[in-house]
């Protein structure tokens, strides 16, 4: 009599059986072997409850497949068990949980261990076929692939690699902790220091802008008070004693009060610098020219002093660090 005790439940013909018909059984066995290496699917859960699927003796069935996709004819409302029979079957399987209801299914064979497969997941398991105490084991539960000792070489760019074989100094630190300080350490051609700056409303601390090709400097100041490119002449303040002009006075006007006077120093200003003087007194104000050469506008003689009339205005234009021209009420 034929038996089906092997792990594929194939028909094993005894000596002398099936005279003249053994070829049919053999062909069926070959077909079942092919099925056991392929894919199949089964609505193993016909209802919302535990279920059993059996690898049939000598006949086609879905659970025989190497890759077994489990579906359900009903929506599962809780974790359900799927028992694979018989419990003497020892084999390897890929099992996919494609049931409806977003529930976990538990794969079992006997009273031994089981494997849980979450909704939408696939696991590789093996059945130990130990009879009533048979267990199902997650074949990859203890699988260890060390990325430091067991994987070597460089993944080609065509296969998803980056083409980068190593990181520069500080780059790995910045990737792990992407702070402004770590980015500054990783970059080798930066200029300046401080925190990372983005386009919207940044605060720039003492930047050197070089020569901008374009831009709008409206609301910017040259010194914290006076606007860049101001159209008015900002006031330096009222001087009531001898006052020596300074670089900070350029582009502004100096008001002279009672007992005040002005000194134009040498080698202080640059070509094109301009300063205005206003005599806000009822008498004359003396402008002393210690600069190498001082001209009164319209005249060729070097002057040592100039007298600015009451309520008068004089403008000093520097031709160089040692030459100036004075124009106005002098």
Contact status, residue 29 vs residue 59, Cβ threshold 8 Å: no
- Can you tell me whether residue 69 is helix, strand or coil? strand
pLDDT confidence band for 305 (50 / 70 / 90): very high
Give the mean model confidence (pLDDT) for residues 27-52: 93
Cβ burial, residue 313 (10 Å; 0-12/13-18/19+): middle
What's the pLDDT score for residue 130? Answer: 95
Give the mean model confidence (pLDDT) for residues 211-229: 73
Give me the phi and psi of 235, to 5 degrees please. -85, 135
> What does the pLDDT look like over 237-274, one tens digit per residue?
999 999 999 999 999 999 999 999 999 999 999 999 99
Topology adopted by domain 235-328: Jelly Rolls (2.60.120)
Contact status, residue 322 vs residue 305, Cβ threshold 8 Å: no
Residue 149: pLDDT above 70?
no
Distance CA 189, CA 134 (A): 66
- Can you tell me whether residue 264 is helix, strand or coil? strand
Percentage of the chain exceeding pLDDT 70: 95
Give the mean model confidence (pLDDT) for residues 177-189: 85
What are the helix (H) ranges across 160-302? 171-176, 180-186
- Stretch (H or E) spanning 25: helix 22-36
Residue 102: pLDDT above 70?
yes
Q: Would you say the pTM of this structure is higher than 0.75?
A: no
Q: Is the Cα torsion angle 222, 225, 229, 232 positive or negative in sign?
A: negative
Strands 293-296 vs 323-328: parallel, antiparallel or unpaired? parallel
CA distances from 52 to 98, 111, 134 (A): 16, 14, 15
Q: How many CB atoms lie within 10 A of CB 8?
A: 15
- Can you tell me whether residue 187 is helix, strand or coil? coil
Where in the chain is CATH 2.60.120? 235-328
């Amino acid at each position: 009599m034929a038996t089906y005790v092997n792990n594929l439940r194939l028909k094993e013909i005894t000596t002398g059986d099936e005279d003249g018909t053994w070829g049919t059984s053999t062909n069926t066995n070959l077909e079942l072997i092919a099925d056991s290496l392929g894919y199949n699917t089964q609505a193993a859960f016909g209802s919302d409850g535990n279920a059993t699927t059996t690898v049939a003796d000598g006949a086609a069935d879905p659970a025989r497949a190497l890759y077994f996709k489990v579906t359900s004819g009903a929506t599962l409302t809780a974790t359900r068990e799927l028992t694979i029979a018989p419990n003497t079957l020892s084999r390897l399987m890929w099992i996919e949980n494609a049931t409806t209801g977003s529930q976990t299914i538990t794969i079992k064979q006997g009273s031994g261990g089981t494997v849980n497969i979450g909704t939408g997941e696939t696991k590789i398991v093996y059945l130990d076929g130990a009879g009533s105490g048979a267990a199902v084991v997650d074949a990859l539960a203890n699988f260890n692939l060390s990325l430091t000792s067991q994987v070597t070489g460089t993944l080609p760019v065509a296969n998803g690699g980056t083409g980068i074989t190593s990181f520069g100094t500080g780059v790995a630190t910045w990737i792990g902790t992407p702070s402004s300080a770590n980015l500054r350490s990783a970059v080798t051609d930066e200029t300046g220091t401080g925190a990372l700056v983005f386009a919207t409303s940044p605060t720039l601390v003492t930047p050197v802008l070089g020569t901008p090709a374009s831009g709008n400097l409206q609301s910017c100041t040259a010194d914290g008070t006076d606007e860049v490119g101001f159209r008015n002449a900002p006031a330096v303040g009222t001087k009531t004693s001898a006052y020596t002009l300074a670089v900070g006075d350029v582009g502004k006007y100096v008001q002279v009060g009672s007992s005040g006077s002005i000194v134009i120093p040498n080698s202080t200003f640059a070509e094109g610098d301009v300063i205005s003087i206003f005599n806000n007194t009822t008498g004359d104000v003396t402008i002393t020219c210690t600069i190498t050469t001082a001209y009164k506008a319209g005249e060729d003689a070097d002057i040592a002093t100039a007298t600015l009339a009451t309520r008068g205005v004089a403008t000093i234009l520097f031709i160089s660090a040692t030459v100036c021209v004075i124009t106005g009420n002098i």
